[in-house]
Amino acid sequence: MTVRTHGTSPSRPAGGQRPRAPRHGGRRGRGDRPWTDPRDLWSESLAGVLARPVRSVLTTLGTVLGIGTLVITIGVASTAANQIVGRFDALTATSVSVVAPTPPPGSLDPPLVRWTDVEAVRRLAGVESAAALSDSQNTSNVQVKANDVVAPGTVNGQTLAVVAADPALPTAVRGTVTTGRFFDTGDIGRHERVAVLGYQAARLLGIADVRDAPAVFFNGQSFTVVGILGGFRREQRLSASVILPPTTAADRMGLKQVTRVLVNTSLGAAAQVARQAPIALAPGHEERLTVLAPPDLSRARKGVEGDVNGLFLVLGLVSLVVGTIGIANVTLVTVMERVGEIGLRRALGASRRQVAAQFLAESTTIGLLGGVVGATLGVVVVVSVAGVKQWTPVLDLRLALGAPVTGALVGLLAGLYPSLRAARMEPVDALRAPS
Amino acid sequence: MRRKQPTPPPAGPGPAPDPDTVIRLSSLNRVFASDPPVHALRDVDLTVRRGEHLSIIGPSGSGKSTLLNTLGLLDRPTSGSYWLDGVLTNTLGDLERTALRGSRIGFVFQSFHLLPYRTVDENVMLAEVYRAPRPGRERATRAERARQALARVGLGHRFGFLPGRLSGGERQRVAIARALMGDPALLLCDEPTGNLDSENTESVLALFDRLRSQGMTLLVITHDDAVSACASRRVRIHDGRLSQECA
């Protein structure tokens, strides 16, 4: 272009000295091109933003709300998910149950799982304790009385479940025998008519002490209570049941079939044990057993996050769109108000691009401001919520850093049209406007 | 601000003016395409020498504004040639005209065009924002040079003030300081006293005289005979035609 300038002066002698060439160090230099120091662009746009502080603050509100909602939504969701997953504590994560199907009545098949098969499960790597349990529909609602004397007009006794279990049950349910003792292999071998009560069953029956060898009566028979089992941490329903030795239960209550095996594993072994236990219990028939294993933790966390996020993410995005429109609107108004200033800048040598750059920088600054404030508020809210709930706040660093960047992008996007309008203005027209 | 340079031999007759010619218009026409077409400038020939104080007077509608816009590189002539400070501007692109405008012309407007939210010195410094730093005119020394420009127009004591706290005459002098800051070849003034009372007009005209004595080239467009009377040369514009008046 400079060449063209020279070329249009045909009368200039070739190689002739440019009369005023040294003045600005030559006209070819960048002095002849519109040029701005990035620091100037920054300070000019910052001054533009700060010139109308109230308006700028109000303009950021949409972005603040949008970014804030997004940060709060994602932050609270990840915090809550972490918390919920935290509740899947060691107990849940190590509990495996194997359920055996109940054979149809009158079936002559040998039982799928025998009481002695539990021993095979106990030998599996990662198994800490295991106990077999037997219950049935028939024995889940049994009228149990603590006194055999029938007083007319009174209903004494409670409806309780009667189950059979092997002596490992207290360990398997992580309970403790609060009074007396649990039946042992001797009791089982001798088919003793002894029973252990769950602590709630004991309370319902009014039995607090076993030193006097109290008896319970059901199914027309009497059983001596040898202990009370409390402190269940799994299989809570057993706390309201009468627990009999397997042999006794088979003889007198028809509970012959092992219906459930409770397995406790070491941490992290649950999945593996869940695969192996059915094979150990019923080799060749493992597919007929149902395994209840703890859910995969990482999958659970994602599931929770997904549940919480959906609606609020949409809400945050909507606010962000509204914020973008708000910035665009206000920047457009600002451009229209500063027509005189645009004309002046053009007169001072600003190119269209530089005028556009200034308004883009201003809207980006406003967006960035909104993003920073929104992200800050969001983080504060997430931490506060976590503090009130005594949770551990979980915040993705990418979220905290990405939110202001998102705000700046929103501002940039919002400034596109207004800055285009500013750049398109003819300096002649712009200078006519009042400054 | 006049540069002492060995004057090269005159370019002689022909389109290229000699280095002491700041402005040369020859057969300049500007026609606005409307129905019927408006012939705002007709065959305008004008030469402004370095250090001259020229006033262009004319009533409204005489083509004054069009001439000013053309001289200020804000508008393009329909035909004819315009040399500004040794550069033929007709063929320049938008970017080059913008750069030339920023580097050679100091504008002084009737309505001052000061940014109300910036201090006086920031307003003055604005003149350099769109120009590449040159030796002796680095960004670091900009504030100091703005202070000097303000001192030059007699406003050294107003450093850091907002324009709203200044009188009209002071504001116009700030605008002149801003125009001087860019170290222009030409001060192009559009009704510079149009918004001023007589006392402030006096102060601005006195400043023009002082600048002229320092060698600055001034081109003042006005409809006020009192303002134009201060000029060393007067040109009248009427119906788009220029006519010389005796100084």
Q: Following DSSP, what letter does each residue of A289-316 receive, concatenated?
A: SEEE-PPPHHHHHHHHHHHHHHHHHHHH
CA distance B5 to A14: 21
The minimal CB distance from B95 to the residues A34, A340, A345 is found for: A34
Residue A101: count of CB within 10 angstroms of its CB:
13
Residue B179 lies in a domain: yes
* A340/B126 CB distance under 8 A: no
CA distance A149 to A414: 87
Query: Is B106 exposed, middle or buried, given 0-12, 13-18 or 19+ CB atoms closer than 10 A?
Result: buried
Tell me which chain B residues have a C-beta less than 8 angstroms from the C-beta of A349. 98-99, 101-103, 130-131, 182
| Distance from the B246 Cα atom to the nearest Cα atom in chain A, whole angstroms | 30
Share of chain A above pLDDT 90, in %: 34
Tell me which chain A residues have a C-beta less than 8 angstroms from the C-beta of B116. 435
Q: Which amino acid is at A408?
A: A
Tell me which chain A residues have a C-beta less than 8 angstroms from the C-beta of B69. 428
**Would you state the structure tokens that stand for residue A227, as one six-digit string?**
């202990």
Q: Which residues contact B69 (CB under 8 A, 6 or more apart)?
A: A428, B75
Q: Extract the runs of DSSP E, i.e. beta strands, from A235-369.
A: 241-244, 260-265, 290-292
**Does an H or E element contain A129, and which?**
strand A127-134
- Chain A residue closest in CA terms to B97: A349
Angle at A203 between CA A202 and CA A206, to 5 degrees: 85
pTM of the model: 0.67
Quote the domain boundaries for residue B140: 21-245
Q: Tell me, what CATH number does B116's domain have?
A: 3.40.50.300
- Chain B residue closest in CA terms to A36: B130
Tell me which chain B residues have a C-beta less than 8 angstroms from the C-beta of A24. 103, 134
How does strand A194-198 pair with strand A221-230?
parallel
CA distance A383 to A393: 6
Residue B226 lies in a domain: yes
| Distance from the B64 Cα atom to the nearest Cα atom in chain A, whole angstroms | 13
Q: Which of residues 307-346 of A touch B (CB under 8 A)?
A: 340-341, 343-346
- Spatial CA neighbour of B2 closest among B25, B22, B24, B23: B22
Q: What is the mean pLDDT of each run of 10 residues along chain B (247 residues)?
A: 43 62 92 90 92 90 89 92 91 89 91 92 92 84 92 91 92 93 91 89 91 92 87 90 74
Phi and psi, residue A73, nearest 5°: -60, -55
Q: Which amino acid is at A309?
A: N
* A31/B131 CB distance under 8 A: yes
Residue B40 lies in a domain: yes
- Chain B residue closest in CA terms to A430: B74
Q: Which amino acid is at A225?
A: V
Residue B183 lies in a domain: yes
| CB pairs A-B closer than 8 Å | 152
| Distance from the A363 Cα atom to the nearest Cα atom in chain B, whole angstroms | 18
Query: Is A77 exposed, middle or buried, given 0-12, 13-18 or 19+ CB atoms closer than 10 A?
Result: buried
- Identify the residue whose tokens are 């120091």: A37
Q: Residue B243: beta bridge partners? A: B236
pLDDT tens digits, A163-217 = 999 999 998 888 889 889 999 999 999 999 999 999 999 988 888 888 888 989 8
Tell me which chain A residues have a C-beta less than 8 angstroms from the C-beta of B111. 340, 434-435
Q: Is the dihedral of CA A180, A183, A186, A188 positive or negative?
A: positive
The minimal CB distance from A348 to the residues B87, B130, B132 is found for: B130
| Distance from the B190 Cα atom to the nearest Cα atom in chain A, whole angstroms | 11
For residue A108, pLDDT beyond 70:
no
Q: Which residues contact B130 (CB under 8 A, 6 or more apart)?
A: A34, A35, A36, A345, A348, A349, A350, A351, A354, B102
Residue B6 lies in a domain: no
Tell me which chain B residues have a C-beta less than 8 angstroms from the C-beta of A12. 11, 16
CA distance A354 to A45: 11
- Identify the residue whose tokens are 């370019």: B11
For residue A226, pLDDT beyond 90:
yes
ipTM of the complex, rounded to two decimals: 0.90
| Distance from the A63 Cα atom to the nearest Cα atom in chain B, whole angstroms | 25
Residue B7 lies in a domain: no
Share of chain A above pLDDT 70, in %: 83
Q: Which residues contact A341 (CB under 8 A, 6 or more apart)?
A: A435, B113, B115
What is the number of structural domains in chain B? Answer: 1
**Under a CB-based contact definition with an 8 Å cutoff, are residues B69 and B78 in contact?**
no
Q: Residue A215: beta bridge partners? A: A224
| Distance from the B42 Cα atom to the nearest Cα atom in chain A, whole angstroms | 20
Residue B9 lies in a domain: no
Residue B119 lies in a domain: yes
